[in-house]
Amino acid sequence: MQTRPNVLLINTDHWSSPLLGAAGHPCILTPTLDTFCKNGVRFTNAYSEHPFCIPARRTLMTGASARAHGDRVFSPTMLMPDHLPTMAQTFRDAGYQAYAVGKIHVYPQRDRIGFDDVILDDEGRSIYNVADDYDIYLGDIGHTGRQFDHGMGNNQYTYRAWHLPEATHPTNWTTRMMARTIKRRDPRRPAFWYLSYRHPHPPLVPLQAYLDIYREIPIDEPFVGEWARERGELPYNAQATQARGDLYGKGEIIDARRAFYALCTHIEHQIRIIIGTLREESLTNDTIICFTSDHGDMLGNHGMWAKRVFYEYSAGIPMILVGLPDDARVGFNRVDDRLVGLQDVMPTLLDLCGIDIPETVEGLSMVGDAKREFLFGEAGEDAHSSRMIHDGRHKLIYYPVGHYFQLFDLEEDPHELVDLFSDPDYADVLSRLSEILEGQMYGSDEKWMENGTLVGEPARQFQPGPDRTLSAMRGDQWPFPPATEEGFLEWFPETKGEEGEEDG
């Protein structure tokens, strides 16, 4: 029989680190994850190094930064790099069975990236001319092509209740497929299971039952720093991130947050079914669990929506680790404030299982003694680019367009309400973090440098352009839409700017 522990890695899409009861959120309901925190450790300084879907997931699956895996711009047709062993392959090389269920977000869609098998929900990306397993499931039960009949956009924040029977919701389907996968394991070998939910990423289509739960709970309003109130004074990318919300009035913003929280609570209730399956299979004491997300969502805070910026609600992610009952390296009911990123998940899980960590991994084991002094974040190479240096307390954000810096003291100001860039009391902190940032520049970043010093490029004013696809709105998925070059470029414009938004 097996001698090494099983591993269950649970990933979500767009879940911000503050969205936990254990983190003190005033209204979101997360009883399952709060119980995880009591049974393990919650990392309070966890970040997505690249806060948008594909680059973040590459880092999660390789333990490497964009400098190594090659994508900090959202490259939907870039293959996973051959020179970086994936987490799944490394587990398999150590004798594990490795299975994934849900959203993988790789190209081609059926690339298993080292898993024995993938039961795929790729959100109906018909441009690749591939039906994923969730599409096939809907067809098998008489709902062929009907998953987008709700009419909600994949990058917008209007909402409505799910339009098909409850059991067909992708969160429920993904849960059932993982429960079945666990039951079908080879009992003689340990398993690595990757459970990847597509939500709470828009479209905001929660079950009506979860909307009803939040009808009686006052929804918190977005907070806005003084620095964010005049859009014209913000850097180009921050202006663009605010412009996403121009469609929504105050009531619609509260409704969007309510629908978002409903999606979160639905996921975490469904996780209970997975825990119940582990219990019934006598695996709870033999399974390590890690819960995280690829990035967060601004949800109207500072007037901004979605991701691609390095403020807390976009770049901050939940990171919860539940170890084996007798493993003191993890412990229970602990909070750890060390600075961690997605690149640290792979070495942590391998370390806990006694598996050698590949030399290509840049991350650190979160249960080891080594701790980083700073974390570098990078997003984009065009006008929407931004960079981050975080030292565990202070965060420096840099927008090259306009040569715009921001500095926040997260210990004193966790909501980033006060920009300290011009505060003389923080001059030394600013100088130190700026020097670190300049030392991290590489590749296309060099166009923003002169004689080793950042100079950026001229400021620009963001002017929203037409959105002829309603932010990647899906249509009738039957008969199967053609995979044309024109359609592909509409979904994934080469420049994520005034005329297009990434579909992450």
**Residue 184's pLDDT is what?**
98
* Residue 501 confidence class, pLDDT cut points 50, 70, 90: very low
**Residue 124's pLDDT is what?**
84
Average pLDDT over residues 5-29: 98
Residues in the chain: 504
In a domain, 454, yes or no: no
In a domain, 383, yes or no: no
Cα gap 415→402, rounded to integer Å: 24
Grouping H, G, I as helix, E, B as strand and the rest as coil, residue 407 is strand
Residue 84 domain boundaries: 6-373+467-491
How many folded domains does the chain comprise? 1
203 prior amide bond cis, ω within 30: yes
Cα gap 288→57, rounded to integer Å: 20
| Per-residue pLDDT tens over the stretch 297-318 | 999 999 999 999 999 999 999 9
* Tokens describing residue 474: 């899906």
Average pLDDT over residues 442-453: 96
In a domain, 51, yes or no: yes
Q: Looking at the predicted structure, is the pLDDT value of residue 1 above 80?
A: no
Cα gap 143→169, rounded to integer Å: 12
Q: Looking at the predicted structure, is the pLDDT value of residue 58 above 80?
A: yes
User: Could you tell me the CA-to-CA distances from 480 to 128, 132, 167, 412, 492 in Å, in that order?
Assistant: 11, 12, 23, 53, 19
Cα gap 257→80, rounded to integer Å: 34
* Tokens describing residue 137: 């499931």
Please state whether beta strands 334-341 and 41-47 pair in parallel, antiparallel, or not at all (unpaired). parallel
In order, the DSSP letters of 144-181 are TT-TTTT---TT---B----S-GGGSHHHHHHHHHHHH
- Identify the CA nearest to 96 among candidates 29, 26, 222, 6: 6
Using an 8 Å Cβ cutoff, are 241 and 306 in contact? Answer: yes
Q: Which amino acid is at 92?
A: R
Using an 8 Å Cβ cutoff, are 315 and 47 in contact? Answer: yes
Three-state SS across 345-370? HHHHHHHHCCCCCCCCCCCCCCCCCC
Claim: this prediction has a pTM higher than 0.85: yes
| Per-residue pLDDT tens over the stretch 351-372 | 999 999 999 999 999 999 999 9
- Identify the CA nearest to 31 among candidates 222, 275, 366, 306: 275
Among residues of the chain, what percentage have pLDDT more than 70?
Answer: 95
Cα gap 401→458, rounded to integer Å: 6
* Residue 484 confidence class, pLDDT cut points 50, 70, 90: low
In a domain, 327, yes or no: yes
Cα gap 350→165, rounded to integer Å: 39
The CATH number given to whatever domain includes residue 126 is: 3.40.720.10
User: Given phi > 0 = left and psi -120 to 50 = alpha, else beta, which region is 63?
Assistant: left
In a domain, 502, yes or no: no
In a domain, 235, yes or no: yes
In a domain, 242, yes or no: yes
In a domain, 106, yes or no: yes
The mean pLDDT value of the chain amounts to: 94
* Residue 487 confidence class, pLDDT cut points 50, 70, 90: very low
- Identify the CA nearest to 291 among candidates 19, 5, 94, 107: 19
| Per-residue pLDDT tens over the stretch 254-277 | 999 999 999 999 999 999 999 999
* Residue 439: Cβ-neighbour burial (10 angstroms; 0-12, 13-18, 19+): exposed
| Per-residue pLDDT tens over the stretch 224-238 | 999 999 999 999 999
The enclosing H or E element of 60 equals helix 53-62
Query: Which own/partner contact pairs does 151-154 have at CB distance under 8 Å and 24+ positions apart?
Result: 151/473, 152/202, 152/203, 152/204, 152/205, 153/202, 153/203, 153/470, 153/471, 153/472, 153/473, 154/123, 154/201, 154/202, 154/203, 154/471, 154/472, 154/473, 154/474, 154/503
